Amino acid sequence: TKPKLVKLEFNNQFGFHPLTNQPYSEQYYELLKTREKLPITATKENFLKLLEDNQVIILTGETGSGKTTQIPQFILEAGYSYGGRKKICCTQPRRVAALSVATRVSQEMDVELGNEVGYTIRFEDKSSQRTLVKYLTDGMLLREAMTDNNLSKYSVIIIDEAHERTISTDILFGLLKQLLSTTRKDDLKVIIMSATIEHKLFQEYFNNAPHLDVSGRVYPVDIFYLEEPEEDYIAGSIKTCIQIHLSEPKGDILLFLTGQDEIEDCCEKLNSRLSQYSPNERGNYKIIPLYAALPYSEQRKAFLPSPNDKIIKKKIKIKKDGKGGEGAEGGEGAEEGEEIIETTLYGRKIIIATNIAETSLTIEGIVYVIDPGLSKQKVFNPKKRVESLLVSPISSASANQRKGRAGRTRRGKCFRLYTEKTFKKLEKQTTPELLRSNLGNVLLNMKKMGIKDLLHFDYLSPPSIELLIRALEVNHYLGGLDENGELTELGHQIAAFPLDPQLSKMLIMSKHYKCCDEILSIAAMLAVSNCFVRPKKNQNLADQAKARFEDPQSDHLTLLNVYKEYDRNKKNRNSWCRNNFINYRTMLQADNVRNQLFQILNRLNLYSLSDIDYAKNKTLLKLNFKKCLVEGFFMQIAHQLDNKNYSTVKDKQHVVIHPSSGLALFTEWILFNEFVLTDRNYIRTCTLIDGQWLVQIAPHYYNVTTFRKGRTRSAIELIFLKRSFFMKNLKNIQSLQNKKKN
C-alpha cells in the first residue's frame, strides 16, 4: 500500500514555521523573494503533479534555474517525508557543491544546517536523525547502498548533474532501476536532473519516463575564438582578463582553469600584473579563486557582491585656440582652458575556477567567460593499468555549458582561447567515466553494494564484456573475490585504494615485507607519468644523469632511487630536478599521490615503519622489495627465450625489453609493469626476479595444469620439483636436529 503524504505548509497564513514553530526570520522573507523569481517556481504545480503520477521524472534546465535548491523543498512541502519518517536526498558529483547548496537551502528554509537540512560528504557528516533534506556526493550514496542495499531511508532520491556521468552516478542508475522494479516498487520515487542535454538517453533507460524542462530566460552570448592557437593558455588568460577589466562594460569575469595549483598561480600573476597599473587606471577588482579543496569560508567570497565602481574625474587641459576653448564656460572648479571629464572604472569580481563553476555552482552577475578549453579528467590507460588525472580538452557540450555562464544577467561574451577549427574537432560529449576507468576497482565496489551479477547488470552505457571478465579474473587471482565471486576481507582492503588492484595488493602486502615506505614511493611513481626528461639537444647529458640512478637488475628500483634522492633534496628540489633531468611537476604529483596512499594505508592499519636498517642492509631491502612487487604483479611475468627476448607466461606473447630500460643483465624470469605495443611488443619498467618466488607467492596462478605444454610449463614443473625436494630435506634435517637435542 502507498503511504499517505503529509503536507508541510511553509509561508502559511499564521506566519509560523511548520518545522520549528518559530516565527520566520527576516532573511527568510528576503530569500523568498528571490526564490519566487526563479524559473523553476513557475512549474512547481506541474512538477508535483508529474511526481504524483510517475516513479521517475527526468528534469532538465539551464544552470541557475533553481533545480538543485528548490526541487527538494517542493518535494518536502508536498509531504514526501511522511511526517518525518522518510528523507529526501539529492546527490552531487562534487563535495563543494553538496556543502554549498545545503548551506544555502538551510538558509532558505530558515533552519539550522545539520538539522532538517544537512549534507554528507567523505570525512564529513552534517546530518542527523532529524534531517529531512540531505545533500550528499554520489559516492556517499553509493557507500550508503553498500550497507543498506535498499536505500530504505529515502522516499525520493534525486540524482543531480546526471549529464556528468561519473562512475558513481552511472552505477546508481543501475541500482535505482533495479530497486524501482523490485523491493522499492511502491514507495520510491527517483528524479534525474541534468543540464539541458542527453534527456532522451535517460528517458529511454528509465522506461520512457516523462521529461520536464524548466529553462528560464537566457541572454545571447557572443563567442570569440583565437585566430591562431596559443601555446601558453595561462598567459593568454591573464591577458584577456586584463583587457576585459580595463575596457569592457560592467560585469564580472569567470575564467576556467584546471586545478588548484594553476589557479593559485594565476591569481598571483594576475594580481601582480594589475597592480602595475595606477589606482586610477585599474579601479576596483577582486580576484577570487574557486576550487574544491578551498575552505567554505573562502568559497563563499564568490557569491558576495562585486566591488564598487570608481568614478574618476580628470582635468583635461584645453588649448586656447582649440575648439574646446570656445565652449569652456568656466564652470565650478574648472579654470579657463581646462575641462573635467568623468570616467567610470567598473568594479569587478574576477573568479578563477575549476569545472565546479561549469554547472554545479551558479554565480550571478557573470558577463564575461574565458575558456581555455581544458579540464582535469580521469583517464585510464589500460596498458599502463593506472588511472590518472590528466589535463585534457573538454567536450563541446562542456564548452557550451561554460559559455552559458555569461548569459544569466544580460547579453554576455565568451572568449574561447582556441581556434574555431579546434572547437569543431572537440568530442561532442564527455565519455562516461565508467568507460574510461579501471574496472578492477569498480567491480569490487559494486560487489560491496550487493550487486550479484556484474556481467548482466543494467548499465546505462555498458562496458565491454571482455573488460568485465578480465577485471573479475584479475580480482579473483589477487584474492579479492572468492570462488563464488564474493568479496573477501582482502577484497575490502583492495577496494579502499583508488588504484588498479595489482598496485593496491602490493601496497597491502608491504607491511609483511617490511618495506611500506619503499612500496608507497614506487606505487606513487608508477601512478604518475614518466619522470625522466630527455631534451633533443642534451640527450647524452640526460642519459648520463639517468645512468646515475639506474639499478642493473630493476627499473622499479631505479624509480625508487629517483624518488629517494628527490626527497633528500627537498629544500631545493626545483634546481635538483633541473640538474638531474627529472620533470619537476611529475615529482610534485608523485609526492601528492604518495601522501594520499599513505593515508589510506595508515587508516587500514597496514602501515608500519620498517625495523630493518636498510642503509646497512641493501641486499635485504632489494629482496623484500622485489618479493612485494611479485605479490601484486605475479600475472605480469615473462619467461626468457634468449638474451633480451622473452615470452609472457600465460598468453605466450613474444616480447622484448623496452630500450628505455636500464637493465644490464637478463635472467630467466622477469616482472614487468606495462605492455607497450608499437612497432614491436615491448615490456617496460622491468625487474629481474627469482622463479621460486612465483610458486611460493602465487601457487594458485602457477598451477602447472593451467599451462600449455612447453618450455615455460617445464620450467615451472622444475621449480616445484626442486622445491619439494628442498622441503623434504629440510624436514629430514629438522628431525635429525630434534633427535640430537633429545
Residue 65 binds which entry of ligand ADP, Mg ion, none, CB below 5-8 Å type-dependent: ligand ADP
Residue 427 binds which entry of ligand ADP, Mg ion, none, CB below 5-8 Å type-dependent: none
Report the nearest approach of ligand ADP to the CB of residue 104 (Å): 4
Task: Give the nearer residue to ligand ADP in terms of CB position, either 104 or 348.
Answer: 104
Interaction between residue 168 and Mg ion (CB under 5 A):
no
Report the nearest approach of ligand ADP to the CB of residue 87 (Å): 19
Number of residues that bind Mg ion (CB under 5 A): 2
Report the nearest approach of ligand ADP to the CB of residue 476 (Å): 43
Report the nearest approach of ligand ADP to the CB of residue 211 (Å): 16
Considering only CA atoms, which of 707, 714, 651, 730 is closest in space to residue 683?
651
d(CA 437, CA 498): 11
Task: Give the nearer residue to Mg ion in terms of CB position, either 68 or 299.
Answer: 68
- Look up residue 700 and give its three cell numbers: 594458485
Q: Which stretch binds Mg ion (CB under 5 A): 3-11, 66-74, 205-213, 598-606?
A: 66-74
Considering only CA atoms, which of 529, 533, 532, 675 is closest in space to residue 593?
529
d(CA 15, CA 365): 33
d(CA 582, CA 566): 9
Residue 364 binds which entry of ligand ADP, Mg ion, none, CB below 5-8 Å type-dependent: ligand ADP
Candidate residues 43, 60, 65, 68; the one interacting with Mg ion per rule CB under 5 A = 68
Residue 104 binds which entry of Mg ion, ligand ADP, none, CB below 5-8 Å type-dependent: ligand ADP
d(CA 649, CA 708): 10
Task: Give the nearer residue to ligand ADP in terms of CB position, either 67 or 622.
Answer: 67
Task: Give the nearer residue to ligand ADP in terms of CB position, either 141 or 449.
Answer: 141
Residue 61 binds which entry of ligand ADP, Mg ion, none, CB below 5-8 Å type-dependent: ligand ADP
Residue 542 binds which entry of ligand ADP, Mg ion, none, CB below 5-8 Å type-dependent: none
Task: Give the nearer residue to ligand ADP in terms of CB position, either 298 or 717.
Answer: 298
Task: Give the nearer residue to ligand ADP in terms of CB position, either 65 or 521.
Answer: 65
Residue 362 binds which entry of ligand ADP, Mg ion, none, CB below 5-8 Å type-dependent: ligand ADP
Query: By the criterion CB under 6 A, which residues form the site for ligand ADP?
Result: 38, 61, 63-70, 100-101, 103-104, 303, 362, 364
Residue 658 binds which entry of Mg ion, ligand ADP, none, CB below 5-8 Å type-dependent: none
Residue 403 binds which entry of Mg ion, ligand ADP, none, CB below 5-8 Å type-dependent: none
d(CA 446, CA 477): 18
- Listing DSSP states for 86-102 in one string gives SEEEEEESSHHHHHHHH
Half-sphere CA count of 81, side-chain side, radius 13 A: 23
Contact predicate 666/532, CB 8 Å: no
Report the nearest approach of ligand ADP to the CB of residue 34 (Å): 7
**Burial grade of 567 (CB within 10 A; 0-12, 13-18, 19 or more):** middle
Report the nearest approach of Mg ion to the CB of residue 215 (Å): 13
Residue 303 binds which entry of ligand ADP, Mg ion, none, CB below 5-8 Å type-dependent: ligand ADP
Report the nearest approach of ligand ADP to the CB of residue 105 (Å): 8
d(CA 4, CA 52): 11
Task: Give the nearer residue to ligand ADP in terms of CB position, either 82 or 303.
Answer: 303
d(CA 39, CA 564): 58
Contact predicate 682/658, CB 8 Å: yes
Task: Give the nearer residue to ligand ADP in terms of CB position, either 70 or 115.
Answer: 70
Report the nearest approach of ligand ADP to the CB of residue 61 (Å): 5
Task: Give the nearer residue to ligand ADP in terms of CB position, either 196 or 673.
Answer: 196
Give the other-Cβ count within 10 Å of 558's Cβ.
23
| C-alpha pair distances (Å), 175 with each of 75, 141, 182, 206, 445 | 22, 11, 11, 12, 13
The set of residues, in sequence order, having a beta carbon less than 8 Å from that of 248 and lying 6+ positions away, is: 346, 367, 368, 413
Task: Give the nearer residue to ligand ADP in terms of CB position, either 72 or 236.
Answer: 72
What sections of 248-322 are H helices per DSSP? 260-274, 279-282, 296-299
Task: Give the nearer residue to Mg ion in terms of CB position, either 68 or 155.
Answer: 68
Contact predicate 545/505, CB 8 Å: no
The set of residues, in sequence order, having a beta carbon less than 8 Å from that of 116 and lying 6+ positions away, is: 19, 106, 109, 130, 131, 132, 133
d(CA 668, CA 678): 24
Report the nearest approach of Mg ion to the CB of residue 174 (Å): 23
Residue 660 binds which entry of Mg ion, ligand ADP, none, CB below 5-8 Å type-dependent: none
Report the nearest approach of ligand ADP to the CB of residue 215 (Å): 9
Residue 299 binds which entry of ligand ADP, Mg ion, none, CB below 5-8 Å type-dependent: none
d(CA 134, CA 571): 45
Task: Give the nearer residue to Mg ion in terms of CB position, either 67 or 126.
Answer: 67
Report the nearest approach of Mg ion to the CB of residue 172 (Å): 17
Long-range contacts of 534-541 (CB under 8 A, 24+ apart): 534/581, 535/581, 538/581, 541/581
How many residues can be counted in the chain? Answer: 742
What sections of 19-63 are H helices per DSSP? 26-37, 44-53
Residue 720 binds which entry of Mg ion, ligand ADP, none, CB below 5-8 Å type-dependent: none
Report the nearest approach of ligand ADP to the CB of residue 100 (Å): 4
Q: Could you identify the residue written with the cell 639537444?
A: 537
d(CA 687, CA 735): 38
Q: Which stretch binds Mg ion (CB under 5 A): 68-76, 303-311, 477-485, 537-545?
A: 68-76
- Look up residue 507 and give its three cell numbers: 601496497
d(CA 393, CA 640): 42
* Beta strand extents in 553-696 (DSSP E only): 637-642, 645-648, 654-657, 669-677, 681-689
Residue 586 binds which entry of ligand ADP, Mg ion, none, CB below 5-8 Å type-dependent: none
Binding mask 506-545 for Mg ion (x = CB under 5 A): ----------------------------------------
Give the other-Cβ count within 10 Å of 220's Cβ.
10
Task: Give the nearer residue to Mg ion in terms of CB position, either 135 or 675.
Answer: 135
d(CA 57, CA 214): 13
Report the nearest approach of ligand ADP to the CB of residue 359 (Å): 7
Enumerate binding residues for Mg ion (CB under 5 A): 67-68
